[in-house]
Structure 1
Amino acid sequence: MRVGQSDTDPSSVLHVPGLDAVVGGDVAYNGIHMWLAQTDSRARERWLGALDTLAALRPARLVAGHQPPGADKGDAAGIIDASRRYLTDFEAAVRVGGSAGDVVRAMNAAHGGRGNPYTLRVSAAAQFAPTA
């Protein structure tokens, strides 16, 4: 099913009601810094709407498109909530921070245990890149 925005738009997920599961693609991340380099504030707001769509499915299991090996997939609500929190924390850090470094420091303070820190650095830099 199409859910709209994630790190790209449009994005889709696979809902398998018989297994009480969702394969979430790039809509929900599990323990990995989210790719936000190609988003702006409006896209991140739409992404929150995609997470609401996932939450409304009420799956017991959620397989995120980005997660460390062996990640727990059995707490779908927790994965969705953590993804939502990451997006809102990133948005707040961009609004308050004066530089990509400020955003990276704020996000590491809140989400430093996530894998793939390169993604965070690129995503933060993109928010302060000059536009053509």
Structure 2
Amino acid sequence: MSNLKYDVLNNRRNGVTRGVPEDTKDLQWVSNTATLIFDDDNAVLVDTYMTRSANQELIDWIKSHHVALKYIYLTHAHADHFFGAGMIKASFHGATIIGTRATADGIPAVMTPANIAGTWEKLFPGNLPSPIVGVDEVVDSAFDLDGHRIEIIQDGFTDTHDTTSLWVPDIKLVVAGDATYNGIHAYMQETTLNARSNWIKVNEHLKTLKPKYVVAGHKNPENSDDPVIIDQTIKYISDFNRLAADAKSAESLYQDMLALYPKYINTGSLWSSAHAVIRG
């Protein structure tokens, strides 16, 4: 029997999308997950948070597990997943930030001084982590935690370019990153129809692994890590594609999706996605 375990911390923060109708005000928040995979001695952290205060909470949570942090794995180059890596590393000497070549290459454009000052500091004034850094070491298909193989799944374009998921066969765990969502509106703003078709195929592949647990990169903290969220993500993207094909306006697409998913959080993501896909 494997001594490997996992634990998930959810960070809840207000949505940053402007102009979202007030009738969904109670749903206009977002939750990121950070996943700790650990044995009796060492751990790998999968993804970090956006703000300094949230990452301090993450640091304290990791310390409560009384293990040495060996790796910080970044699933992709979205700021809300990698901004805290430098702050986490500074608190756990010996930790190495790892990611694929595509993640390593994608991060610098997001963390330019102009982007940080012009975008992120305005959204989260005085609360960005420091330092904001990139990947230390590039990994390709897998890495090892004390003899436990952790496999990297190259997802391609899901909610952004070059995303990845992790498969931990010893405990039948998928840490999906942004390939799979859980009770939260998926971020479609960067996607095309082809990208969303690939996104569906990615989740179909994750199903073939027959996981026991699936941790989504974004989830309603009240929800479990039941693998059913893979099918739910496939259905959500399929519904979005079907409704977008006939939508007369972004507002009508938004309302049609709300009717199907009235309890999903982060309606700001749906609002921005609808406006990105339906122009004019």
User: Could you state the TM-score of these two structures normalised by the residue count of structure 1?
Assistant: 0.93
Cα offsets for 1:18-72 (capped at 9, x unmatched):
1111000000000000000111111110111111111111101000000022420
Contact 2:181 2:217 in 1 (8 A): yes
| 3-state SS, counterpart of residue 187 of structure 2 | coil
Q: Which of the numbers 13, 23, 31 marks the counterpart of 2:175? A: 23
Cα offsets for 1:109-129 (capped at 9, x unmatched):
111110000000000000123
Q: Which of the numbers 7, 26, 32 marks the counterpart of 2:159? A: 7
Structure 2 segments unaligned to the other structure (5+ residues): 1-152
Give the aligned partner of residue 251 of structure 2.
101
Please tell me the residue identity of whatever aligns with 1:18: D
Q: Which has the larger radius of gyration?
A: 2
Write the distance in 2 (CA, Å) between the matches of 1:83 and 1:102.
21
Give the aligned partner of residue 120 of structure 1.
270
Please tell me the residue identity of whatever aligns with 1:60: K
Matched-pair identity in %: 34
Contact 1:30 1:67 in 2 (8 A): yes
Write the distance in 1 (CA, Å) between the matches of 2:277 and 2:160.
16
Give the aligned partner of residue 57 of structure 1.
209
| Segments of 4+ moved more than 6 angstroms | none
Please tell me the residue identity of whatever aligns with 1:125: H
| 3-state SS, counterpart of residue 13 of structure 1 | strand
Structure in which a larger fraction of residues adopt strand: 2
Give the aligned partner of residue 72 of structure 1.
224
| 3-state SS, counterpart of residue 189 of structure 2 | coil
| 3-state SS, counterpart of residue 25 of structure 1 | strand
Tell whether 2:237 aligns with 1:87: yes
| 3-state SS, counterpart of residue 176 of structure 2 | strand
Write the distance in 2 (CA, Å) between the matches of 1:102 and 1:92.
13
Contact 1:25 1:64 in 2 (8 A): yes
Give the aligned partner of residue 84 of structure 2.
none
Contact 1:5 1:50 in 2 (8 A): no
| 3-state SS, counterpart of residue 202 of structure 2 | helix
Please tell me the residue identity of whatever aligns with 2:156: G
Contact 1:30 1:79 in 2 (8 A): yes
Contact 2:155 2:163 in 1 (8 A): yes
Write the distance in 2 (CA, Å) between the matches of 1:69 and 1:128.
30
